[in-house]
């Protein structure tokens, strides 16, 4: 579910650079409660290594850092949150059954 939600938010074109991350922070709060995990730079502690396996959907487009405060990005380069554009994940193993729910279950 986390990977689907990140994909949904990164594919949107927001008017302001911080809008996607602000919108995702509300979802992150729900995920923290539901899965009893904290987040580091936009990635859940649970399944952290798997969530490092992201890439741009359009790999031939230039990577552009996400600017939030001044000219500096607040996220490390290994996090999807530090980059503009749609991302997808390659999971090395299936997520636990509790995490295999549909995005609409948490958004309702």
Residue 3: Cβ-neighbour burial (10 angstroms; 0-12, 13-18, 19+): buried
Determine the structural domain holding residue 81 and report its residue range.
2-107
Give me the pLDDT at residue 101, please.
Answer: 42
So what's the pLDDT on residue 95? Answer: 54
The count of structural domains within the chain is 1
The tens digit of pLDDT for each residue in 44-101 reads 888 888 888 898 888 777 778 776 666 565 788 889 888 888 888 886 555 555 554 4
Quick check: 108 pLDDT over 50? no
The label of the residue with tokens 């949150």 reads 81
């Amino acid at each position: 579910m986390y990977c689907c939600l990140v994909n949904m938010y990164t594919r949107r074109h927001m008017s302001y650079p911080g809008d996607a991350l602000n919108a995702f922070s509300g979802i992150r709060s729900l995920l923290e409660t539901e899965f009893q995990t904290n987040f580091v730079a936009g990635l859940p502690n649970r399944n952290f290594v798997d969530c490092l396996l992201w890439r741009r959907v359009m790999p031939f487009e230039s990577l552009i850092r996400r600017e939030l405060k001044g000219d500096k990005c607040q996220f490390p380069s290994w996090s999807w949150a530090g980059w503009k554009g749609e991302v997808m994940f390659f999971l090395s193993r299936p997520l636990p059954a509790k995490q295999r729910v549909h995005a609409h279950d948490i958004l309702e």
